[in-house]
Every structure is written in structure tokens, then in C-alpha cells.
Chain A
């Protein structure tokens, strides 16, 4: 697992080019549009790709792409 691959998975869900985001991106505010469906999709992706299941309450605390990345690292 590496950051580049992680960013590309996130970009796919946020429907933006991977160059447009980095680890500091606030995934709810720094993209063209956000709603809960993308949130659901991120939660499912963390589970599918990284076997990391996080509760909705935890997910709501995460702001940046890096915060999500930390969940995976913690889980390993």
C-alpha cells in the first residue's frame, strides 16, 4: 500500500483528477461537490481495498485525506 495508490482510489470516489488532490485535501470542502453518497463510498472503499472498517462517527471526525490514511495505518 502506498500514498499514490491511496490517492488514486480517493480521486475515483470524489470524481476528480488525481492531480487535483493530495494528502492535505479536505475531502468534503476542497472538491467541486460533496454529499453523503461519497462518504458512504469512502467507507466502503476503505473496507474493500484496505480491510479497514470504520464507524460512521469515526468517519465524521476525519477531515483530510491524510486522516483517512491514518485509519488504515492504525489498523495494520
Chain B
């Protein structure tokens, strides 16, 4: 396994932004699932989800998160040396989200600003690239991560309808000679690219009238070619076997054990799968914070959402050693072993 190690970096703060429209899965899933809705909610753990109102996007949420972080940490935008935006649902195909961030947050013109196209595995990739940039530039780097999935999730597809949500986040990284060593491990299984897939809307199958028609599939699910398609069994196998292997190898290589960490931060795919993975890795369930129950699966932003929302109290007591992993479309895995310093600024804001 290739492990990338980076020292001399710290996270100044992480803010998450959630849209204030809340979907109660008990109501939303009644028609699709009937009486079995309760069983499904027990398994996925997703009781409520947040979704954008019409016209709002992941970019809007991330910008609001960044503004919250700038205010809380009294950040001067002119100190920022670069912007990275992780998303698979940019506002426009051209130009990217990060250029808009540069102007909206009044950042200097002489900085690099670019997007990274990844879904659920994206946040550790964003941290990795941003950390290297911050070190190389010797300046702060702003990492944003946000997606809107609600408009590309079929309400008639049992596999996805009650899982996906929308969220945005902002993370500020700074060079810091006292920062601990971070370690990253990545994995790509491109042969499984159709396990999580959107047919139409890219260059290969451009949008046509046909793209917006609901089609019924063999399993009874209905979706459009613009909606996210997910092969549940393949995803489950990938997490139970592939992600477990990736994290085990990272732990072995770093010579660390579950007891060396304060928290295991997993992509909030669904609670049952997360619990199985947590147990198999030998972590106690108390070390795995959860936001899937109230915010749903918002793709790669679930990791910063968990940290911003659930670590606010513990970070006031001491620095936290974290093992994190994002996994999903690609198929792709991004895992990282990092440390958050005591009193790192963490916060959550809502978007109206």
C-alpha cells in the first residue's frame, strides 16, 4: 500500500452548513415502503435528512460555511493562498465552483483555485491536496466540500430515496511546524465505476428529453437517467471488505491500534454498514460519532459535517487523534490519520 505522509500542517477550523429544509423519512418513505419503513429506518439509521430548497446549491452552503468560519476565527481573506473545492455537483460545468468562491469571499486574485471531482471519498483527498499546497505555498488554504444530491435522487428508487441529502462545509488549513504527522491511504477500483453511476448529463450522454423520463427497472425501482443509480450489494461488499482492508493496512503501516485514536470518523453512508465496519476494525461504537440520523448521507461532506457538529465539546478538552475514511463512487476510497489541535474552531450554521 502507498502511504503518503505530511507533517507541519494544522486545521484552523471546520464549519458545516446545512439547509434548513428537513425531511422526515417516516413520512417521506411511507408510500414507497409501507409498514417496513420502521425497519428500514432502524437499519439505515437515517431518520431525517436536510435538503436544499429550489435554487440553492452545495456551493451556496459551502460559502455560508466559509463565511461562518471567517467570522468565528477572524480570518483575513487576503492571507489565503489557495482554494480547493471537492464536489461532483458543481453549479455549472464551466467554470468551476472554486473560482466563484474566490470572488464571493473576496480572496486575492493571485491564487490557485480549482475543483476536485469526487463523490463520497472526496474529503480526505481534499485534505491531502490542501495540506501539500499549504506547505508548499507557506500560506493558508481554504478547502470547501459540498454537494446537492436531492435533485438527482429518485423518490421512487428504494435503494437511494431515503439516503441522500445536501450539505456544505469549509475547512481552513495552515502551515504549522508543530503539527503532527498526517498519513493518507487511497484506493481506486475503476472497474466498478458503474456501481454508483449517473448515466446522463456529462459529455458521454448529453441531456436529451429522454434523460428526464422515469423508467421502471426489473427490481421495481423507478428513476431518470439523470438520477444516481446504486448497486446496493456491490457497495456493501466494497465497504465490508475493501474499506476494511484499506483501513487495516493504514493502521498496520502506521503501527497504530484503535486505542490510539479518540474517534473513528466514517462517511455517513448508512448506520448498519458503519456499525459493521466499526466492529470489524476493533473500534468501540462510542468512538464513532454519527450525524446520519439527523442529516443523512450528503456525500463527501459527511466527514467535515461530523467533525464540525459532533466534536465541538471534546475539542475544548484536548487535541483529538482521528482516523477517517470516505468511500463511494469510483469505486474510490480516501482514508486519513490526522490530529485536530485543542480549541480548533468548529461550528454549524443553517441556510434558509
Contact = CB atoms under 8 A, between A and B. Distances in A.
A21 to B, nearest CB: 17
Contacts of B279: 12
B232 A44 contact: no
A1 interface: no
Contacts of A13: 276
Contact of B232 (A12, A36, A48): A36
Interface stretch (B4-12, B94-102, B233-241): B233-241
A37 B43 CA distance: 7
A9 to B, nearest CB: 12
Interface string A22-40: 0000000000011111101
Contacts of B236: 37, 40-41, 44
B233 A40 contact: yes
A48 B240 contact: yes
Nearest to B235: A40
B39 A34 contact: yes
Majority-rule SS of B interface residues: helix
Interface in B10-45: 36, 38-40, 42-44
B222 to A, nearest CB: 17
Residue of B232, B276, B279 with most chain A CB atoms under a 10 A cut-off: B276
Nearest to B279: A12
For chain A, which range describes its interface: under 10, 10 to 19, 20 to 34, or 35 or more residues? Answer: 10 to 19
Nearest to A31: B39
A40 B35 CA distance: 21
B42 A41 contact: no
Given A48-B240, A48-B241, A33 B276 contact: no
Interface string B222-261: 0000000000110011001100000000000000000000
A73 interface: no
Contact of B240 (A36, A44, A56): A44
Interface in A6-63: 12-13, 33-38, 40-41, 43-44, 47-48, 56
Nearest to B275: A15
A56 B42 contact: no
B233 A56 contact: yes
B273 interface: yes
A35 B43 contact: yes
Contacts of B272: 37-38, 41
- Sorted nearest first, the 7 A-B pairs with minimum C-beta distance are A40-B236, A33-B39, A44-B240, A37-B272, A35-B43, A37-B43, A33-B42
6 contacts: A35-B36, A35-B43, A37-B44, A37-B236, A40-B233, A44-B241
